[in-house]
Amino acid sequence: MKAVQVTAYHTKLQLTDVPEPTIEGPLDVVVRIGGAGVCRTDLHILEGQWEAKSGVQLPYTIGHENAGWVHAVGDAVTNVKVGDKVILHPLITCGLCRACRSGDDMHCHDSKFPGIDANGGYAEYLRTTARSVVKIDDGLEPADVAALADAGLTAYHAAAKVARTTRPGDVCVVIGAGGLGHIGIQVLNAISGVTVVAVDRNPAAVKLAEAVGADKAIVADGTHVQQVLDLTGGRGAEAILDFVGEGGSTRWGVDMLGRAGNYYVVGYGENIDVPTIDIISAEINVIGNLVGSYNDLEELMILAAKGKVTLHTTKYPLEDFQHALDDLDAGLVRGRAILVP
């Protein structure tokens, strides 16, 4: 089958022929890929940022946002059958550890992460397990929802935390209205009563934020922090949801956060520098967010089926993977780029 692989760091991906995955265990599921999301993490992988953390052996197939159709199942699989449309939770989890039994799949003690430390979905087929496949509504197509498997799941997981800790009328500032941010805005509108203020450097992303339901969208032009403070009467926001995590966004986030507020960090790339006296005196919280649980993904798929969360996509044939990555790196993708085998 065709697969796009990392053959070395600091160099371009390669399209190659590799063996098609087969069923090896009773709970295995092989999925025919209908769409694979192109994520900024894929760029970070090529830059070598994940080399030490993942420990993956090269070459391997990249791609961690995947959806498609069930192609084959192991003898013990009962939750899906051949032909079912599915979206894949990004982790392959054991189901037996304390984290799995608590529903915190993303903290499984014995997990694999296809596309990060195992073969992923920039390919025609991918092997996962029964625990990782979520059936999707007949009205949804794999290529239209693939990026919800990670970008959408991550955005939902963080936005759900915001919803649990805020009241109607509270202000949540969403930093970054791109691939994750435009999903997070929709989720906040669907499950919370917060006033959503979106901030992004890119005017096109600001327009997208307005289109998907932000109550206020601001271009990050140097006056944005003061604009947020003015909107909140000088108090700052009750919640910050930072989908960027670099380029100065962490400084903005802290400066826009009100007393006893929560700063939810999703994007990464720089350090958060906050004097401990400021954390204590304002009693603020900095909260990390990693992907999301299987239940989070099921709930997100319900919102998608009801039309409350719509993924804005640009689709590319699998062979045009480099074009997709270049567009993403250049900031030309509004929403998410999707590779279609």
Please check whether residues 143 and 157 belong to one and the same domain: no
Instruction: Please give the full DSSP string across 206-264, using - where no structure is assigned.
Output: HHHHHHTT-SEEEE-SS-HHHHHHHHTTTS-EEEEEES--STTHHHHHHHHEEEEEEEE
Residue after which a domain boundary falls, among 288, 305, 325: 288
Q: Are 210 and 203 in contact (CB under 8 A)?
A: no
Say which CATH number the domain at 92 has: 3.90.180.10
Please check whether residues 178 and 120 belong to one and the same domain: no
pLDDT at 335: 84
Q: Are 59 and 7 in contact (CB under 8 A)?
A: yes
Please check whether residues 275 and 307 belong to one and the same domain: no
Please check whether residues 295 and 284 belong to one and the same domain: no
Please check whether residues 28 and 146 belong to one and the same domain: yes
Please check whether residues 247 and 301 belong to one and the same domain: no
Domain enclosing residue 117, as ranges: 2-150+291-339
Please check whether residues 313 and 296 belong to one and the same domain: yes
Say which CATH number the domain at 157 has: 3.40.50.720
Please check whether residues 189 and 170 belong to one and the same domain: yes
5: closest CA among 114, 146, 153? 114
pLDDT at 49: 87
Does residue 65 sit in helix, strand or coil? coil
Please check whether residues 45 and 82 belong to one and the same domain: yes
pLDDT at 120: 97
d(CA 201, CA 280): 31
Number of domains observed in the structure of the chain: 2
Residues with pLDDT less than 50, the chain: none
Please check whether residues 126 and 24 belong to one and the same domain: yes
Q: Are 57 and 340 in contact (CB under 8 A)?
A: no
Please check whether residues 190 and 59 belong to one and the same domain: no
Please check whether residues 259 and 317 belong to one and the same domain: no
In a 13 Å sphere around the CA of 101, the CA atoms on its Cβ side amount to: 3
pLDDT at 1: 98
Please name the residues in contact with 212: beta carbons below 8 A apart, sequence gap of 6 or more: 182, 185, 186, 310, 312
pLDDT at 51: 87
User: Distances in Å between the alpha carbon of 311 and those of 17, 23, 63, 97, 205?
Assistant: 30, 31, 18, 33, 14
